[in-house]
Amino acid sequence: MSGSISPTLPWSQASYKWSSAINPVLANLLVQGQLLSGVVVKTGANTINHGLGRKLQGYFITLNSAATTFYDSQASNQRPDLTLVLNASGPSNISLWVF
């Protein structure tokens, strides 16, 4: 099998192979995200501190306690490095994965 790690590889070669396989995954911004739990949103625009320390690339709503729909206003957000502006059709308690 090409690309697989042989059980007889010297440690120095195995370590290199592992890092070449794992580093691209760790460099992916989606993996570098964080979960924001228990975020309370109201109807309309909600400014949420994402805490990433860099410009937000995207988000997933992972939990939603109501039949609420969402869209963001990131295109006009003055502070995309600090916040997500999330518009909600109604009040809800949500969790978000931000990346």
| Interval 69-92 mean pLDDT | 97
Residue 27: what pLDDT? Answer: 84
pLDDT band, very low/low/confident/very high, at 7 (cuts 50, 70, 90): low
CA–CA dist 72, 59 (Å, integer): 10
- Greater pLDDT, 3 or 81: 81
Single pTM value for the model: 0.74
Return all residues near 74 (Cβ < 8 A) that are at least 6 apart.
Answer: 56, 80, 84, 85
| Interval 63-80 mean pLDDT | 97
Note the pLDDT tens digit of each residue in 24-37: 887 888 888 999 99
**64 token code pair:** 């939603």
Note the pLDDT tens digit of each residue in 47-61: 999 999 999 999 999
3-state secondary structure of 71: strand
CA–CA dist 40, 59 (Å, integer): 16
E-strand ranges in the chain read 34-41, 44-49, 59-64, 70-72, 83-88, 92-98
Query: What share of residues in the chain are helix, strand, coil (percent, to 5)?
Result: 20, 35, 45
Q: Where are the domains of the chain?
A: 34-98
| Interval 63-92 mean pLDDT | 97
